[in-house]
Amino acid sequence: MMRLTAYISGRIQRVGYRAKIVDLARKMGLAGLVQNRPDGQVLVIAEGEKEDLEEFAAALQIKNTFIEVLGISLEYSPGSGGLSNRLIRVMRLLS
């Protein structure tokens, strides 16, 4: 089991980006979380098999009418297995 930590930048907050990522992660059976950051980035942490995480990481690059990913920083590390029951949880940043 591996863990992917990704910081995504671009036009990604308040445009449905997190919902798309949650849907994708659920379909892939990944566990983790997605969170808006105060600096305008989105943090994604996911755990699963390396091949699934690599496919998931490639799918983080979304560009459509509303969403435009401009940068992705990826880091892979050993997974802990401690993330939520095979679902991605959406966490909103409190102001």
- Which residues are the active-site residues? 18, 36
Classify residue 57 as exposed, middle or buried by CB count within 10 Å of its CB (0-12, 13-18, 19+). Answer: middle
Three-state DSSP class for residue 69:
strand
What is the Cα–Cα distance from 18 to 1, expressed in whole angstroms?
23
Q: What sign for the dihedral angle of Cα 3, 86, 72, 56? A: positive
